[in-house]
């Protein structure tokens, strides 16, 4: 399978690396320059739960040189807020049989792709693999769970079967879902309950469970989303509140990805997590005050205004 990984950050690199170890595949990544340089020079190294050094990966900083090739699969692994731009970039690469797999967090991501690519070519995926980029060319696998795939159209079911088979042969645990939105929503609701609270308090996931008030707030935040899902007739097979607490417990020592983004001065995915719940709440008439407030405060933190304000204060205390 000829595979392009568009956006080789942590999850993109993990998938690119393992897929490239499968002799059936020919893998190219498109990534930022520092990552492309490292991969071209030393290959891609996977550490943590899996240990591999992968040499046979091609790497480019843009899709321009790749337009004439015939791609079977494009893994779209950019962050949610870059999906719109990345979709435009890959659209000239799409042939009739090219499948685009959207594998980022968040609600409504595939709607951005649908603006430029036909639904017959789009697959939504949710992965429970966790990873972070230790440095350019080195990705650390911190969790290795299922990856679930679902098509936006029943017409691409055979393609999904092929991709699932290929992923399994590459070492992934893969399932196919006929209601991928349920999976997307369930994972997003868990993120909506954990991520902004960890971000605004600086706490590890496990610490969040030590405060009764916070547990009530987390539950209510998730329940706001459950009510929106209900209105949108998206079934949620597991109890999302229960799953949120279980996930926080299972990842007790972790700082969530949103907090990591803020610490690194990066934009977060809040707009596609709590922000999406809040927007869809508004449009369906479901009240979502907590998701709205959390979105506002995290976006304020993104802009660093609060940090600077508090920083001035701390500095002031130190010198006065």
Q: How far is the CB of 151 from a copy of itself (least distance, A)?
A: 35
Question: Nearer Cβ to a copy of itself, position 45 or 215?
Answer: 215
- 214 makes contact with a copy of itself (CB under 8 A): yes
Considering only residues 42, 201, 238, 283, which one is a binding residue for a copy of itself as defined by CB under 8 A?
201
Q: Does 266 bind a copy of itself (CB under 8 A)?
A: no
Candidates 202, 210, 242, 283; binder of a copy of itself (CB under 8 A) is 202
Alpha-carbon gap, residue 297 to 305, rounded angstroms: 11
Contact (Cβ atoms closer than 8 angstroms) between residue 47 and residue 138? yes
Size of the site for a copy of itself (CB under 8 A): 31
Q: Supply φ then ψ for residue 105, to 5 degrees.
A: -70, 155
Concatenated DSSP letters of 211-255: -HHHHHHHHHHHHHHHHHHHHTT----S-HHHHHHHHHHHTTTPP
SS3 category, 32: coil
Least Cβ distance, residue 303 to a copy of itself (angstroms): 10
Q: Which CB atom, from 3 or from 276, has the smaller least distance to a copy of itself?
A: 276
Minimum CB distance to a copy of itself, residue 215 (Å): 11
Contacts of 119 (CB under 8 A, 6+ apart): 152, 153
Query: Residue from 49, 67, 161, 216 that binds a copy of itself (CB under 8 A)?
Result: 216
The verdict on 207 binding a copy of itself (CB under 8 A) reads no
CA–CA gap between residue 1 and residue 170 (Å, rounded): 12
For residues 124 and 102, the answer to whether their CB atoms sit within 8 Å is yes
| Alpha-carbon gap, residue 288 to 275, rounded angstroms | 10
- 7 Cβ neighbours under 8 A, 6+ residues apart: 30, 31, 76, 77, 78, 79, 82, 86
Q: Is 263 in the site for a copy of itself (CB under 8 A)?
A: yes
Rule CB under 8 A: say whether 236 interacts with a copy of itself: no
Site string for a copy of itself, 281-310 (x = CB under 8 A): --------xx-xxxxxx--x----xxxxxx
Q: Which two tokens stand for residue 96?
A: 């009739």
| Span from 68-76, 137-145, 180-188, 261-269 in contact with a copy of itself (CB under 8 A) | 261-269
Catalytic site residue from 40, 52, 68, 187: 187
Minimum CB distance to a copy of itself smaller for 78 or for 203: 203
Pick from 154, 237, 265, 285 the residue near a copy of itself by CB under 8 A.
265
Options 220, 236, 243, 267; binder of a copy of itself; rule CB under 8 A = 220
Provide the b/e sequence for 162-186 (b: ≥16 CB within 10 Å): ebbebbebbebebeebeebbbbbbb
Active site residue 187: yes
Given the complex with a copy of itself, which of 115 and 303 has the nearer CB atom? 303
Q: CB neighbours of 207 closer than 8 A, spacing ≥ 6?
A: 201, 252
Cα separation, 320 vs 316, in Å, equals 6
Q: Kindly list the residues in this chain that would bind a copy of itself in the complex (CB under 8 A).
A: 200-202, 211, 213-214, 216-217, 220, 262-263, 265, 289-290, 292-297, 300, 305-311, 313-314, 317
Catalytic residues: 187
């Amino acid at each position: 399978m000829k595979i392009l990984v568009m956006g080789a950050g942590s999850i993109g690199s993990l998938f690119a690396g393992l897929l490239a170890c499968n002799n059936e595949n020919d893998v190219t990544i498109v990534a930022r320059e520092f990552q492309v340089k490292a991969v071209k020079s030393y290959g891609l190294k996977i550490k943590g739960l899996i240990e591999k050094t992968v040499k046979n990966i091609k790497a480019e900083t843009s899709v321009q040189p790749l337009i004439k090739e015939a791609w079977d699969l494009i893994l779209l692994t950019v962050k949610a807020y870059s999906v719109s731009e990345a979709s435009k970039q890959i659209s000239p690469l799409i042939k009739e049989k090219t499948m685009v797999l959207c594998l980022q967090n968040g609600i409504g991501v595939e709607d951005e792709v649908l603006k430029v690519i036909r639904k017959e070519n789009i697959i939504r995926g949710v992965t429970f693999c966790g990873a972070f980029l230790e440095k350019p060319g080195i990705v650390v696998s911190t969790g290795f769970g299922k990856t679930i795939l679902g098509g936006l159209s029943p017409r691409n079911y055979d393609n999904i079967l092929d991709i699932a088979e290929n992923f399994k042969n590459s070492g992934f645990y893969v399932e196919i879902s006929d209601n991928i939105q349920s999976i997307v929503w369930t994972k997003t609701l868990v993120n909506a309950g954990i991520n902004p609270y960890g971000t605004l308090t600086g706490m590890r996931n496990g610490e969040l469970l030590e405060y009764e008030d916070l547990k009530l707030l987390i539950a209510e935040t998730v329940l706001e989303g459950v009510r929106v899902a209900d209105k949108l007739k998206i079934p949620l097979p597991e109890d999302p509140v229960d799953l949120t607490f279980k996930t926080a417990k299972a990842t007790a020592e972790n700082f969530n990805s949103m907090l990591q983004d803020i610490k690194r001065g990066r934009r977060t995915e809040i707009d596609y997590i709590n922000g999406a719940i809040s927007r869809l709440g508004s449009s369906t008439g479901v009240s979502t005050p907590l998701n709205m407030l959390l979105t506002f405060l995290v976006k304020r933190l993104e802009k660093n205004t609060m940090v600077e304000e508090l920083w001035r204060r701390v500095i002031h205390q130190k010198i006065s």
